[in-house]
Structure 1
Amino acid sequence: MQQFTTNTYWMCPECENANNQKVPVPELNFMAEKMSDMVVDDWVEIECDHCETAYSGHVFVNTGDVHFEIEEPRKFEFSGDMPMYEPDEEDYDPPDDPYSVSKEALGYLNGMVGSQSPINDPQFTNRLIFSGAVSSLEAYLGDTLINAVLGRSEVREQLLKSNKLLGELKFSAADLANDPESVAKRVIVVLRAVLYHNLNAVSALYKDAFGLDLIPSKSQRDILFPAMMLRHHCVHRNGQDKEGNKLGDFTDDYVRRVIEAIGEVIDHLEGKLTENFPF
């Protein structure tokens, strides 16, 4: 699991060693509606690399920086850089062509609909296929938006100008002087934490970034919005509702209609983006 970390530079009060460390910190509250509400705090422990003295105190995590107030065994304060998810060994940049990746996956999944399932759970395989199709949509939406923010300054600027949450990000002249890419990096931190099956939130992001309707037709909305609710039951409850009843929604016809609707949305977005924002 990826850790949320900050790079810190602090002087040990005991031995005066200058520590340059990457310190795990609590994740921001990415579910908050306002940037100011994303701030979190917690108890933290650090250790000097030289004398191995252990210190403890409070850490306050903001979108742009991290502040440490150490209390024991000596009181002192210092700050850390903008918190970010630490890449793990399997972390990678978004693919250059999320469209082809997602369409290929949807094609394979569609061909698997109706495959054999366990006798006592006849829709098990269809649920896996359904969940995979939703994941393909999430991957396309996230990778496409992040690629646009990284590759097109006008998209990034429009998103910062129009989106309420991202518009609250603050950048100092020092930030920009030290790292001209600090704006894009901070936006990406927020975008990577978005739940891309939350179609209301993603619709707002795509409208703000590109001026596009995420899902163009009522028939597609009528299929996909309820499907995102069913996704939760598949991922977290193996197809059961809150009362423990096994759902029977995942017929061959239903799963194929969901895959078709997802493919139509991806085709719609890719066509509009290719037309208006060629890379």
Structure 2
Amino acid sequence: MEIDITFSCQCGAFVDETITCDGPDVDPENDPASLRDYWETISCEGCGKDYDTHIVCTLSDTNIFVPNVVDLNFDVHKLFEQEDVVSEIESTRQLDVYRKVSTDVISLLRHPHPAEVQATLNNMLFAQVVTATEAYLSSSFISTVVNDDALIRRLVETDPELAKRQFSLREIFTQWEDLKRLVARYLRDLIFHDLKKVKPMYLFVLDIDFGDVAWLFKAIIVRHDCVHRNGFDKDGNQQKIESGAIIELVKQCTHLVAEIEEQLIARRET
């Protein structure tokens, strides 16, 4: 399963981390309650403090415990199913999907709406633009890498988490036959909704530099408030998202997507 964890550090910084774990023990012979727990370390980028995070999973519930933090929130997502992974490998429509979403957002902004619903609508549209961009970045990276043996090797050599995974001699042959699905599943579980990991992966594996995307990191934080706090930040202040700001975000995201797409096309044609 994939768990999005957010909280405020003692230094005042906002921490947003995604953790992947295997979830509860599905074999009742091991534990009738199917309980399984995990320990992860989450670091605050503001002050560098490490937080020991305790994850407790059962078939009916998942709980997260992080001591000495403020405003702890978490969302649990099931890992992508096998058919989703196969679709990710074979997909060639990432750009079309992004274009459709961004076009729909602009159309909705231009459509007249009652003033009293505009703030709620803008929250949803802002979040949709960020999500569509993240989905493009994630899916394009996965489909490009897993269909190129040289890129899979570069990924393994440059990604510390994937490189340290161990297999028995018997498992090596099984995993080799299913290598594309293994890598695609790992990438989906790891980088979806986590731009901090996507940006360096594009650079180290595909030689694609996003440049300065501080605006996108900021938009991701605002998106979090739109989705999880109904448009309010952790201090209770409402995010006032104007239609013009959404249009500008669409322009910035579209420019980033176009630059990446151009380089991916050039790679395929070489």
- TM-score by shorter chain over 0.5: yes
Q: Where do 1:101-116 residues align within 5 Å?
A: 101-116=97-112
1:277 maps onto 2:268 in alignment: yes
Q: Name the structure 1 match of 2:87.
A: 93
Q: Where do 1:47-196 residues align within 5 Å?
A: 85=79, 87=81, 93-94=87-88, 95-117=91-113, 119-196=115-192
Structure 2 distance, partners of 1:196, 1:85, is 11
Structure 2 distance, partners of 1:222, 1:28, is 25
1:241–1:39: structure 2 CA closer, same or farther, 3 Å change rule? closer
Greater Rg, structure 1 or structure 2? 1
Higher helix share: 2
1:46 maps onto 2:28 in alignment: yes
RMSD: 3.5
Mean Cα deviation higher: 109-118 or 151-160: 109-118
Mean Cα deviation higher: 121-130 or 38-47: 38-47
Indicate which of 208, 224, 249 corresponds to 2:216: 224
Amino acid at match of 1:270: E
Indicate which of 246, 265, 272 corresponds to 2:238: 246
Q: Where do 1:190-205 residues align within 5 Å?
A: 190-205=186-201
Task: Work out whether residues 155 and 209 of structure 1, in 8 Å CA contact, stay in contact via their aligned partners in 2.
Answer: yes
Deviations 1:146-181 (A, max 9, x none): 212331111111111112222222244422323433
Deviations 1:92-148 (A, max 9, x none): 712322112212221221222254555445322122111111111111111112212
1:138–1:38: structure 2 CA closer, same or farther, 3 Å change rule? closer
Amino acid at match of 2:252: A
1:194–1:43: structure 2 CA closer, same or farther, 3 Å change rule? closer
Structure 2 gap segments, 5+ residues each: 6-18, 39-77
Give the TM-score normalised by the residue count of structure 1: 0.65
Task: Work out whether residues 134 and 193 of structure 2, in 8 Å CA contact, stay in contact via their aligned partners in 1.
Answer: yes
Amino acid at match of 1:269: I
Q: Name the structure 1 match of 2:247.
A: 256
Q: Name the structure 2 match of 1:235.
A: 227
Q: Where do 1:9-24 residues align within 5 Å?
A: none
Deviations 1:232-258 (A, max 9, x none): 00111111112333211x112110111
Amino acid at match of 1:230: V
Task: Work out whether residues 114 and 126 of structure 1, in 8 Å CA contact, stay in contact via their aligned partners in 2.
Answer: no
Task: Work out whether residues 133 and 253 of structure 2, in 8 Å CA contact, stay in contact via their aligned partners in 1.
Answer: yes
Identity %: 20
1:127–1:159: structure 2 CA closer, same or farther, 3 Å change rule? same
Structure 1 distance, partners of 2:200, 2:24, is 32
Structure 1 distance, partners of 2:85, 2:22, is 25
Structure 2 distance, partners of 1:92, 1:173, is 26
Task: Work out whether residues 3 and 20 of structure 2, in 8 Å CA contact, stay in contact via their aligned partners in 1.
Answer: yes
Cα displacement (A) at 1:210: 0.5
SS in structure 1 at match of 2:160: coil
> How many equivalent residue pairs?
216
Structure 1 distance, partners of 2:154, 2:83, is 33
Q: Name the structure 1 match of 2:66.
A: none
Structure 2 distance, partners of 1:190, 1:90, is 13
Amino acid at match of 2:102: L
1:114–1:43: structure 2 CA closer, same or farther, 3 Å change rule? same
Amino acid at match of 1:87: E
Give the TM-score normalised by the residue count of structure 2: 0.67
Deviations 1:195-227 (A, max 9, x none): 5343221111112221211x23x3xx2421210
